[in-house]
Amino acid sequence: MKKSLVICLLAVAFAGQLQAQKYFTRDGNITFSASTPLETIDATNRGASAVVDASSGAMEFAVLIKGFIFEKALMQEHFNENYLESGKYPKATFKGKIQNIGDVKWSKDGSYPVKFKGTMTIHGTSKEIAGQGTITVKGGRIVASSSVDLPLSDYAISIPSVVADKISKTAKVQIEVALAELKR
């Protein structure tokens, strides 16, 4: 009886260990630029959500399209109405995996380059992408950042010919999220 109780407690403790540590944010920073010499098209969103599983490397990001703020209100309106159709497709998401998650020492200061792969969904259209980023740990603060170039045509975002010269064919998307431990 005693022995089995010990085994059982060990099993529970072990389960707790395996219970992977996760990190999250609700106010991640995502910016994009589709600027050309003719027109500045930059927007910032400070409300990205993300969860990263520190042991498996699995991660998920989501951001509300309407949360992107432009300098020109009319450009923001057109971005939502005509290009991203945020009424129909309110969110952009990324679901993927950090492939070299083992290299990241979550509790040791340092800057860890990571590679990731996954599915980006924007404007209701999904595309497999791969990229690189950095996870920086400094004094308990964890910041994940990355930059990816997304061709607009991959996401069925059509640009009318009259403005074709003013909008870059590729959006440069920059992500910077400060992650906190997810406690439940």
Residues making contact with other proteins (CB under 8 A): 1, 3-5, 7-8, 11-12, 15, 18-20, 22, 24, 26, 44, 46, 49-53, 56, 58-60, 62, 64, 66, 69-74, 77-78, 80-82, 85, 87-88, 90, 93, 160, 162-163, 166, 182, 184
Contact status, residue 172 vs residue 18, Cβ threshold 8 Å: no
Q: How far is the CB of 65 from other proteins (least distance, A)?
A: 11
Q: Cβ closer to other proteins: 72 or 169?
A: 72
> Phi first, then psi: what are they for 71, rounded to 5°?
-65, -40
Three-class HEC string of 96-116 = EEECCHHHCCCCCCEEEEEEE
> Phi first, then psi: what are they for 167, rounded to 5°?
-120, 130
Burial class (CB in 10 A: 0-12, 13-18, 19+), 87: exposed
Q: Cβ closer to other proteins: 76 or 136?
A: 76
Cα-Cα end-to-end distance for the chain? 32
Q: How far is the CB of 9 from other proteins (least distance, A)?
A: 8
Q: Cβ closer to other proteins: 29 or 134?
A: 29
Q: Cβ closer to other proteins: 22 or 123?
A: 22
